[in-house]
Amino acid sequence: MKKLKFYLMLLVMLMATSAKADNVKYLVLNSGGEETVIALADEPVMTITEGTLKVTVAGVEKLSADLSQGLTYSFSETVPTAIQEVLDNESSRLEQGHVYIAHARAGETVRVFTVDGKLVASQRINSEGTADIDLTTLGKGLYIVKSAKTSIKVMNK
């Protein structure tokens, strides 16, 4: 157990050192196939309790990852959007301020980010493989809607 704590502390220290050395703006965490982008300017707080890494920003949890399941991280000077083409098995459409997603994996989380990487909304895909993400409550501007397999840019007018 002491060895695990040592390695976890070392990981957190290396992450902080890498961020300062590269003068980066974003922390990119990948856990269980889902990517989380956190702006370092938001001063994220990382805690490790009983093998679980939790990242919070202003008291709001942005990530909770079981470290035994694997976690990768990187730093970026720009927002890594990973915009890809829409896959045949997952489709999305924009209609009257809503993003409709179909043919997705049930239980998967769809996240909405601002272009500077701030998470502004998230929703789980329902048991039918669909989701209705309401953008009308968000301000006007460009957003990135990201699922595990697809990322799309959406202009909210």
Cβ neighbours around 101 below 10 Å, total: 24
Q: Are 110 and 130 in contact (CB under 8 A)?
A: no
Residue 44, token pair as written in the block: 């994220």
Q: Where are the domains of the chain?
A: 2-76, 91-156
Total residue length of the chain:
157
Contacting residues for 78 by C-beta, under 8 A, at least 6 apart: 25, 26
Supply the Cα-derived Rg of the chain in whole angstroms. 17
Q: Please give the backbone phi and psi of residue 127, each rounded to the nearest 5 degrees, phi first.
A: -65, -20
Longest dimension (CA), the chain: 54
What pLDDT shows up at residue 16? 54
Confidence (pLDDT) at 153: 83
Residue-by-residue pLDDT tens, the chain, 157 positions: 555 555 556 555 555 544 444 456 777 777 776 777 887 777 888 888 888 888 888 888 888 888 777 777 777 776 655 444 333 445 777 788 888 888 888 888 888 998 888 889 889 999 998 889 888 888 888 888 888 777 888 887 7
Could you name the CATH architecture of 91-156?
Answer: Sandwich (2.60)
pTM over cut 0.75: no
The tokens describing 144, both together, are 């990135």
pLDDT score of 65 = 82
